[in-house]
Amino acid sequence: MSGSVEVRQFLLRYEGGDAGGGMGGVPSQRGGQTEAPRVSDDQVRRARLAVAAGALDAEDCAQLLDMLGLIPDEDGTIPAQR
């Protein structure tokens, strides 16, 4: 399966770390709270791994991560953590 290798390489570019590890939980949906809890770096990492596990190839993974706000923008901030 070259698709999983492509996805792992894609994640390494954006995360700079090991894309191995296990597939942990993903961040839960935010409620209508005024002061919503912040999404931690670990939650972002685990969400990326969960997306990569379900992606068909590197392009699919990139599109899904972008749609979910898990790719850093021009300023280097991750939209899901704003």
For the segment 16-68, what is each residue's pLDDT rounded down to a tens digit? 544 444 445 555 565 655 566 688 999 999 999 999 999 999 999 999 999 99
Structure tokens at 40: 């931690």
**Residue 81, pLDDT score:** 87
Closest CA to 6 of 62, 44, 50: 62
**Residue 43, pLDDT score:** 92
Structure tokens at 8: 């792992």
**Residue 50, pLDDT score:** 94
Please say if the pLDDT value at position 1 is more than 60: no
**Residue 28, pLDDT score:** 59
